[in-house]
Amino acid sequence: MLNNITIGQYFPGNSFIHRMDPRAKIIATTIFIIAIFLANTPLAYGIVGAFTVGALLLSRLPLNLLWRSVKPLWIIIVFTMGIHIFTTPGESLFSYGIINITDKGVAMGLQMGARLIFLILFSSLLTYTTSPIRLTDGIEHLLSPFRRIGVPAHELAMMMTIALRFIPTLLDETDRIMKAQSARGADFVTGSLIQRAKNMVPLLVPLFISAFRRADELAIAMEARCYRGGVNRTRMKELTITPIDYIGVGTVILVTVVLIVLWWLHR
Amino acid sequence: MAIQLDSITYTYGVGTPFEKQALSGISLSIENGEFLGIIGHTGSGKSTFVQHLNGLLHPTTGTVTVNGVDISAKTEEAKTMRHKVGMVFQYPEHQLFEETIAQDIAFGPKNLGLPDDEVDRRVREAMQFVGLHYDIYAERSPFHLSGGQMRRVAIAGVIAMEPDFLVLDEPSAGLDPFGREEIFEQIIKLHKEKGITVILVSHNMEDISRMATRLIVLDKGQVVLDGEPLTIFKDHRQVLQSVGVDVPPVSVLIESLRERGLPISNDILTVDDAVEAIVEGGQHVK
């Protein structure tokens, strides 16, 4: 019942994109996502599309995985396209009652749809190719300059890491308790909504107790090892910037510059 | 009255990159009144296997029948049969949730739809069985008990379902020797007095060899040995070692004493018997 939930979407691999440093990937993704919004001509969309497809091919992720990341959001995509198609003023292509479809509307709708799809694909590329632990490491590094203004970068990253670490554990626990209670005749599937909510009590109480117990044990274990925040801590796995990171970020910047120029020319 | 498993296989995560076959073609019949021990290395499929016995997992291929009824069916009859197989998981005390011990034990019987007086009778009986005095413990919170007591409450919760078959997955894990002894005494009592068929999963060879009437050894999702514990420990030591299962220390001691010429029999499984045999054997040497 619970085994179809995937946490973090990491898909292991050893492609160029998998090997990039998480910091480089976060920066490159952020830059490119902003750049997507600069596209305003078919040529610019072509470039964005080609670059996205190129990056996806480079990552060697299976196609159905990418499809799965877009699928849950298709309602939003269709809705956005619809709004633009029906509400943008321009030369009428088709008109019936209050419905009025314009040439500009269709163009806008298609553009917005394409933008959203590129956005989803590119940001899932980041989560598909970076393990959650490396991702939090990267976020911690990128946030560390803000420590001076009081952002607890290390603590935030530590909390994220611990939370991520315990999701599978708690899922296992949930599965186990569900089975134990089902063996005693508990029913989690049928009944009215209120009845089903009530039936969750035998699951939730033990789950909370075990989560608190684990949190307590972890806190004691960390204190016993003299854990304290981020100052002067060294790491077992250092993040290192390699030539591929320069190539990756460099390419994104290059594409972005091209897109800026195109945007400038067609303002 | 028996559990029949017909060439069952089970695969985790079918259709994902993490697909893993946990059981491959197990056929087995568990007869009424048996005390079946299951041993195997970590990851040999023990836990997956026992979850098939009461329909918590359904085999990918093959069938499981309890008293002749296929328990993967969606009929009332299949449901009744699934409830005939009680299941005590590892660390069963983690499933406690009610405010009082009596209420927690009553959870199972209530789900069976029994009348209140029958539920009450079962709760009292189950508590007495695991050695918790009703008048003292019934209204207490299960969360203020010691680890061993909590486990007894959890086991009572399963016993109150009055199963014909009782599956226990490492019931002694994490208990001190005293608590372990108590739990096992109760399990033996269940088997002997109530005639419940017990299926015990354990790492501890001594416990298994002492109690089980039949032993199966699992490795990589297959049954590699099936027979009387004594025969298996005596004759199949190499197989046991190759699948990463330890022979009970008593058997090892007896074997090495025999090798050094002490005239004792090699069909000894418990520490007490061993002491007696060694004393006796020693006298012969003098």
Q: Do A32 and A116 reside in the same domain of the chain?
A: yes
Q: What is the mean pLDDT of chain A?
A: 85
Asked if B157's CB is within 8 angstroms of A184's CB, the reply is yes
Whether residues A220 and A244 share a domain: the answer is no
Cβ pair A186:B111 closer than 8 A: yes
* Nearest by CB: A3 against B13, B83, B94: B13
Q: Do A179 and B51 touch (CB under 8 A)?
A: yes
The partner residue sitting opposite B97, judged by closest CB among A3, A12, A206, is A206
By C-alpha distance, which of B139, B138, B144 is closest to B156?
Answer: B138
The pLDDT tens digits of the residues spanning A119-168 come to 888 888 888 888 888 888 898 889 888 888 888 888 888 888 888 878 88
Whether A87 is in a domain gets the answer yes
Question: CB–CB of A186 and B107 under 8 A?
Answer: yes
Q: How many angstroms separate the Cα of B116 from the Cα of each of A59, A128, A184, B80, B223?
A: 62, 54, 17, 19, 43
Structural domain includes residue A229: no
What pLDDT does A2 receive?
Answer: 45
> Does A116 lie in the same domain as A157?
no
pLDDT attached to residue B154: 93
How far is the alpha carbon of B95 from chain A, nearest alpha carbon, in Å?
Answer: 6
Sheet holding B197-201, edge to edge: B85-88, B165-169, B197-201, B35-40, B214-219, B222-227
Domain for residue A138, yes or no? no
Assigned token pair, B3: 């559990």
Question: Is residue A254 a part of any domain in this protein?
Answer: yes
Residue listed under structure tokens 């998480």:
A22
Closest-CA distance, A262 to chain B, in angstroms, reads 42
Residues A184, A189, A193, A197, CA torsion sign:
positive
The pLDDT value given to residue B108: 92
pLDDT value, residue A4: 42
Residue B242 confidence (pLDDT): 86
Q: Does B142 touch chain A (CB under 8 A)?
A: no
Classify residue A51: in a domain, yes or no. yes
pLDDT at position A230 is: 65
CA distance B152 to B225: 32
On whether residue A35 sits in a domain, the answer given is: yes
Residue A61, CA distances (Å) to A17, A27, A127, A244, B19 in order: 10, 21, 12, 19, 18
Nearest CA in chain A to B103: A202
**A90, A179: one domain:** no
Residue of chain B with shortest Cα separation from A202: B97
Of B56, B97, B157, the CB nearest to A179: B56
Q: How many whole angstroms separate alpha carbon A69 and alpha carbon A52?
A: 15
In a shared domain, residues A186 and A92: no
A170-184 mean pLDDT: 89
Question: Do both A126 and A256 map to the same domain?
Answer: yes
Residue A258 near residue A31 (C-beta atoms within 8 A) = no
Cβ-based contacts of B87 with chain A (< 8 Å)? 179-180, 183
Q: Does the pLDDT of residue A61 top 70, yes or no?
A: yes
pTM score over 0.95: no
Q: Is the ipTM of this structure higher than 0.95?
A: no
Q: For chain A, what is the domain count? A: 2
Give residue for tokens 């199972």: B108
Whether A108 and A180 share a structural domain: no
* Beta-bridge partner residues of B30: B3
Determine the residue among A3, A10, A184, A209 to mutate to test chain B binding: the one whose Cβ has the most chain B Cβ atoms within 10 Å: A184
Flag whether A1 is in a domain.
no
- State the pLDDT at residue B1: 62
* pLDDT reported for residue A3: 44
Confidence grade of residue A251 (pLDDT, cut at 50, 70, 90): very high
Q: What residue ranges of chain B have pLDDT lower than 50? A: none
Phi, psi of A108 (to 5 degrees): -60, -45
Model confidence pLDDT, tens digit, residues A80-118 = 888 888 887 777 777 777 777 788 888 888 888 888 899
Structural element, H or E, at residue B38:
strand B35-40
Rg of chain A taking only CA atoms, in angstroms: 24
In a domain, A144, yes or no: no
The pLDDT of residue B286 is 60
What is the per-residue pLDDT across A1-36, written as a single tens digit (0 to 9) for each?
344 444 456 888 888 999 999 999 999 999 999 999
Mean pLDDT of A35-64: 89
The 10s digit of each residue's pLDDT in A148-157 is 888 888 888 8
Residue A166 sits in which domain range?
153-224
Give B158's contacts in chain A (Cβ within 8 Å): 183-184
Instruction: Compute the radius of gyration of chain B from its Cα atoms.
Output: 21
In this prediction, residue B106 carries a pLDDT of 94
Residue with tokens 């002894």: B181
A182: nearest CA partner in chain B: B56
Domain ranges of chain B: 248-286
Residue B81 identity (one-letter amino acid): M
